[in-house]
Structure 1
Amino acid sequence: MRVIAGTAKRIPLRTVEGLETRPTTDRIKETLFNMVNNRLTDCDFLDLFSGSGAIGIEALSRGAGSAVFVENNKHAMECIKYNLNATRLDEKGQRLLMDAVSAIRALEIQGKVFDIIFMDPPYNHLYEQQVLNALKNSGIVYCDTLIIVEASKETSFDYLLETPFRITKEKVYKTNKHVFIEPVQLGKEI
């Protein structure tokens, strides 16, 4: 695995050994970043369930102003630290060793607000639903925040009808999909 484009282009990234994380393939990562490229410059990026940190590092390499990496696996966090140092992007990255919902609360206390929130939770455990429920009442989301969820193809997002979020786009791949979610525009904040 490597950084595809930007200031850290072609730098190889370490991945976490074992089956606890599934790195996003280069082809899917390239498709994803082609879809959000116009929103990356100087954005504040949140990478939940970060794994090796490849998605947040790709965002930084392509011009994001900052990225927060949230991961509750100690070995994965060590991998993120190594990868940030290897790409010389460590000054733009904040690392939080905790679960995603706790991190949302902690970031809210810090007064953080994010332009893009990406999450790639373990498939078919409904973690994305828990996180979206935490985000719907969170100050880290504003009216232009883009939330991207990587999920299995079978994952249903029907519950979003009961939230202040709506699906704006869906990109389906062979075994998984990216779901693009934005707050319903009800004014400046949700």
Structure 2
Amino acid sequence: MRVVAGEFGGRPLKTLAGRTTRPTTDKVKGAMFNMIGPYFEGGRVLDLFAGSGGLAIEAISRGMDSAVLVEKDRKAQQIIEENIKMTQALAAFTLLRMDANRALQQLTGKFDLVLLDPPYAEEEIVRQVTELEERALLAQEVMIVCETDRAVDLPEEISNFGIWKQKIYGISKVTVYVR
């Protein structure tokens, strides 16, 4: 695992051994960011199921200003901290050590990019996107990127958002919602 492109491109990322997290492969990560960018001119990103932190780090590497990473697993939190240190841009990252649903109650400000890569067994994307919208946490031009198992069928519309792009990469499906 590595940062695919941008300021930190090529730098290695640590991942958690075992089945606690399911890191996005470099191929899927590169394809995902090519779908939505591939580069950004600032903005704020929310990674609600951070795992190793690789997606948020990729977003910062490609030009986002700041990232909020949410992770409940203690071992994964340690990996995220190590990966953030590797960037030497500590001020760009905030790690919330809690589950996604609790974090939704505490978040403030607006996000320009939301990354939802929940564990395959816990698909709560529809409810979480709706809650983010109801709590006014989403910028007008927000992109919501969902990575799921390829067999998961997300709805055409969630709240005020519709599917903009959707592609399958191996066992993963990437769905991008916009207003």
For 1:28, the equivalent position in structure 2 comes to: 28
CA offsets 1:3-59 (integer angstroms, 9 cap, x no match): 111221211111011101111111111111112225622111111100000010011
| 1:15-164 pair list within 5 angstroms | 15-37=15-37, 40-108=40-108, 112-158=109-155, 161=157, 163-164=159-160
Aligned to 2:14: 14
Partner amino acid for 2:119? P
C-alpha contact 1:124 1:152 (8 A) present in aligned 2: no
Q: How does 1:175-186 map to 2 (within 5 A)?
A: 175-183=171-179
Tell me, in whole angstroms, the C-alpha distance in 2 between the residues paired with 1:89 and 1:32.
23
Query: What TM-score do the two structures reach when normalised by structure 2?
Result: 0.93
Residue pair 2:13, 2:54 contacting (<8 A) in 1 also: yes
Unaligned runs of 5+ in 2: none
Alpha carbons of 1:173 and 1:38: their partners in 2 closer, same or farther (altered >3 Å)?
closer
Aligned residues: 179
Q: 1:45, 1:59 within 8 Å by CA — same for their partners in 2? A: yes
Q: Which amino acid aligns with 1:53?
A: G
User: Deviating runs (4+, > 3 A) in structure 1?
Assistant: none
CA contact (8 A) 2:157 2:163 kept: no
Q: 1:38 to 1:9 in 2, by over 3 A?
A: closer
Q: Distance in 2 between matches of 1:69 and 1:24?
A: 15
Structure 1 or 2, whichever has the larger Rg, is 1
TM-score, with normalisation over the residues of structure 1?
0.88
